[in-house]
Amino acid sequence: MAEDRQKTLDKVRNIGIIAHIDAGKTTTTERILFYTGKTYKIGDIDEGTTVMDWMEQEKERGITIVSAATTAFWTHSSLRSSGQEDPYRINIIDTPGHVDFTAEVERSLRVLDGGITVLDAEEGVQSQSETVWRQADKYNVPRLCFVNKMDKLGADFLATVKSIEDRLGANTLIMVLPIGVESSFKGIVHLMEMKAYIWGGDELGAKFEITDIPEDMKAEAEKYRHKLIEKISETDDALTDKYLHGHKISDDELKAALRRAVIAYKLVPIFAGSSLRNKGVQPLLDAVIDYLPSPLDVGQVTGYNPKTGEEEKRGPDLEQPLAGLAFKIQIDPHVGKLTYFRVYSGKVVAGSYIYNSVKNQTERVGRILLMHANHREEIKEAYAGEIVALVGLKDTGTGDTLCDEKSPIILEKITFPEPVISLAIEPKTKVDQEKLGFALKRLSEEDPTFSIKANHETGQTIISGMGELQLEVMVDRMKREFGVLANVGAPQVAYKETVKSEAEGEGKYIRQSGGRGQYGHCWLRVKPKPRGEGYEFVDAIKGGAIPAEFISSIQKGVKETMENGILLGYPMVDMEVTVYDGSFHEVDSSDVAFKIAASQALQAATRKAEIALLEPIMKVEVTTPSEFMGDVIGDLSAKRSQVMGTEEKGKATVILAMVPLAELSGYSTTLRSMSQGRASYYMEPSHYEEVPKNIVEQMLAKSTFTGRVE
């Protein structure tokens, strides 16, 4: 049985669909599900009937919020036409395009073996396409490109391919040429097969005929076929030799070499079609089988043994001990908490115990589910190479490794960006108070970029995330899924504080009040670190000036003070804090005294070191009709922005700028009124930068923050 499963592993594909907002990811996934027989009625985003966007908010907004996982089966068209059935199993994850839900894309890419990047044939490569492409590069995910919306006004296949090369730096390989463009788009010329695929009409499009290439396209097809052979040959020494000596290279040799090149990420094959009009999806599915890797091609994953610290590997083999990654937590109204799990080695059995090596806990697997978007099928066992959902795990979080307790391993974790925007939230009634805590805990388990912090001064809870849309959706979900009614404040920018130079400070806490006193005394040195490097605590105490048991109290005092900020109450980052001297009292010294002394010393040192306020800078891309370009740039300049450049796209101009998030509240309304509603914009977090002095002074004048420790 195990050998059978091992053999069938090469017939599994774990793929994700990634792209910019509105490029047609969900529509493409819906078509794939229809043609693979998973659904019998095609879903439509505009009607809110899609399978993958199953959440109420997704249907209302027409966007994807959570990455949905589904399993489908597909037999290659060449076999299908001859009536044979030899299905491949394709696990598909449809990811969101909005940058607010970047965590969904990040965690999906971490566990995928291959990807399909969908691009809009008129827009070409857009900002988010660039971001998700770089995320896929980070995890070395081999991918295909699908130039969608070939029937759209202004669609230009070759210009889109050029933008993939220029903006993404990809080594592209044109696999198909479109037949017709815009409203006359009716099919493709497949350059590997040198045949034309013509779709009859727009209706369900499952019907297409394979014919000879139209006369007027033969010369162009020959030219691109020649380029195809040349590019594939360059990636393989044996084929280069054949090519240079003028020997004929068979299609099977080309396909095998192209598969190796795609898996090694040397080439990116480009396909074209129109998902909405049901054209071009079947050849894309064939390409997933032909060129994207199976779990066997991906090979071993690397981790380390938590007991020995030694590096270890696990491969897609049933004989090896179990290892896998929990990459997503989802709260399901019917079964409770679902943990999406990619199995890298061994197998997991329903009802068995499984070890969480990150939390050092044993969990029981209640049930194992195969997910079809929001429908599910229960299975008894899941094997290496599969993606399943586990029910019954209580403490496992995103990025945790689950493995065999006898052979522990910790796989590389998933890293997420820092939140940039926050909201104050408070329950409307006493009843909502308890429900709010539960709802927030559940939602933060689902989304690692969504964080919660209590503000003890105001009694409010502060929720933070990647953008206003994400926070809006979270508040909406609390109301719908958990029945929590809450009052929400205006969005606030997530500033941070840091030090600009090195300095030292002393903290001394002495209290004598009858009986046992309090005594804590320490010297701290603060030093700036490069942006994004976080905080580090260094113990440099020599000769027992402070006993070892109080060092952790000093560390706690430092951490708490840093979290609450010193200048304006924002968390402190990117600095090194060293405790290098101090003194203690045999009787009176205590944990509390050293904690307070550390807080005083940190405040003294940071004030000498000069505190800087940091703010999130957003990368903003505005697409506007050219006649409004001057107004838009003028307005951006007034927002302390740095305009990086402009680019003409047809009759529109794309303006790229770096703008402080603090200046962008209500920007969509401003932009609409400035451009008669014709301009649109997209933004994503870029980096943190120091706030100008005059603005810090204005903020200090308005602030009521008193972060003093007596």
- Say what the pLDDT of residue 594 is: 94
Structure tokens at 254: 């080309």
- Return the HEC string of 187-231: EEEECCCCEEEEECCCCCCCCEEEECCCHHHHHHHHHHHHHHHHH
Angle formed at CA 337 by CA 334 and CA 342, multiple of 5 degrees: 120
Tell me how far apart the alpha carbons of residues 260 and 292 are, in angstroms, rounded to a whole number. 9
Structure tokens at 308: 């020995």
Whether 461 contacts 440, CB under 8 Å: yes
- Residue with the bigger pLDDT between 61 and 327: it is 327
Highest mean pLDDT among 110-114, 221-225, 243-247, 441-445: 221-225
Whether 343 contacts 370, CB under 8 Å: no
Is the pLDDT confidence value at 101 over 80? no
Q: Where are the beta strands (DSSP E) in 569-691?
A: 575-583, 611-625, 642-649, 652-660, 680-690
- Say what the pLDDT of residue 63 is: 40
Of 7-11, 611-615, 662-666, the range with the lowest mean pLDDT is 7-11
Is the pLDDT confidence value at 54 over 70? no
Whether 468 contacts 421, CB under 8 Å: yes
- Return the HEC string of 141-182: CCEEEEEECCCCCCCCHHHHHHHHHHHHCCCEEECEEEECCH
Tell me how far apart the alpha carbons of residues 598 and 593 are, in angstroms, rounded to a whole number. 9
Tell me how far apart the alpha carbons of residues 312 and 302 are, in angstroms, rounded to a whole number. 6
Of the candidates 332, 355, 359, the residue with the CA atom closest to the CA atom of residue 446 = 332
Using DSSP bridges, classify how beta strands 114-120 and 143-148 pair: parallel, antiparallel or unpaired. parallel
Residue type, 28: T
Locus of tokens 């691009």: 119
Mean pLDDT of 245-252: 84
**pLDDT tens readout for residues 323-354:** 998 887 777 767 778 888 889 999 899 999 99
Tell me how far apart the alpha carbons of residues 330 and 696 are, in angstroms, rounded to a whole number. 41
Mean pLDDT of 499-518: 85
- Say what the pLDDT of residue 613 is: 92
Is the pLDDT confidence value at 37 over 70? no
544 Rama class: left (phi>0) / alpha (psi -120 to 50) / beta = left
Tell me how far apart the alpha carbons of residues 223 and 563 are, in angstroms, rounded to a whole number. 63
Residue 322's pLDDT band (cuts 50, 70, 90) = very high
- Say what the pLDDT of residue 511 is: 85
DSSP label at residue 365? -
309 Rama class: left (phi>0) / alpha (psi -120 to 50) / beta = left
DSSP three-state, residue 3 = helix
Of 83-92, 269-278, 555-564, 668-677, the range with the lowest mean pLDDT is 83-92
Structure tokens at 410: 């910790």
Q: Is 670 exposed, middle or buried (0-12, 13-18, 19+ CB in 10 A)?
A: middle
| C-alpha 666 chain-centroid distance | 26
Is the pLDDT confidence value at 306 over 90? no
What's the whole-number average pLDDT of the chain?
82
512 phi and psi angles, rounded to 5 deg? -120, 110
Mean pLDDT of 248-259: 88
**pLDDT tens readout for residues 375-385:** 678 889 888 88
DSSP three-state, residue 77 = helix
Residue 449's pLDDT band (cuts 50, 70, 90) = confident
DSSP label at residue 692? P
| C-alpha 91 chain-centroid distance | 18
Element (H, E) at 559: helix 548-564
- Residue with the bigger pLDDT between 47 and 566: it is 566
Is the pLDDT confidence value at 575 over 90? yes
Is the pLDDT confidence value at 527 over 90? yes
Is the pLDDT confidence value at 49 over 80? no
Q: What structural domains does the chain harbor? A: 2-296 (3.40.50.300), 301-411 (2.40.30.10), 421-492 (3.30.70.870), 497-609 (3.30.230.10), 616-696 (3.30.70.240)
Q: How far apart are the first and last CA of the chain?
A: 70
Rounded to 10°, the helix 218-234/251-263 angle is 60
Tell me how far apart the alpha carbons of residues 92 and 29 are, in angstroms, rounded to a whole number. 8
Whether 494 contacts 688, CB under 8 Å: no
Residue 371's DSSP bridge partners are 376
Rounded to 10°, the helix 281-291/25-35 angle is 80
Tell me how far apart the alpha carbons of residues 76 and 288 are, in angstroms, rounded to a whole number. 10
Report percent pLDDT > 70 for the chain: 85
Residue 538 CB neighbour total at 10 angstroms: 13
Whether 278 contacts 204, CB under 8 Å: yes
Residue 271's pLDDT band (cuts 50, 70, 90) = very high
Mean pLDDT of 426-451: 80
Mean pLDDT of 154-168: 89
Is the pLDDT confidence value at 41 over 90? no
Residue 301's pLDDT band (cuts 50, 70, 90) = confident
- Say what the pLDDT of residue 46 is: 42
- Cα diameter, the chain: 103
- Say what the pLDDT of residue 578 is: 94
DSSP three-state, residue 334 = coil
- Say what the pLDDT of residue 51 is: 39
- Say what the pLDDT of residue 1 is: 42
CA-to-CA dists, residue 101 to 97, 108, 134, 548, angstroms: 7, 12, 16, 44
Mean pLDDT of 59-67: 40
Angle formed at CA 58 by CA 274 and CA 374, multiple of 5 degrees: 90
- Say what the pLDDT of residue 57 is: 45
DSSP label at residue 339? E
- Residue with the bigger pLDDT between 671 and 69: it is 671
96 phi and psi angles, rounded to 5 deg? -75, 160
Element (H, E) at 269: strand 268-272
- Say what the pLDDT of residue 105 is: 67
Whether 243 contacts 230, CB under 8 Å: yes
Mean pLDDT of 242-270: 89
Mean pLDDT of 188-213: 80
Mean pLDDT of 112-130: 83
Q: Is 282 exposed, middle or buried (0-12, 13-18, 19+ CB in 10 A)?
A: buried
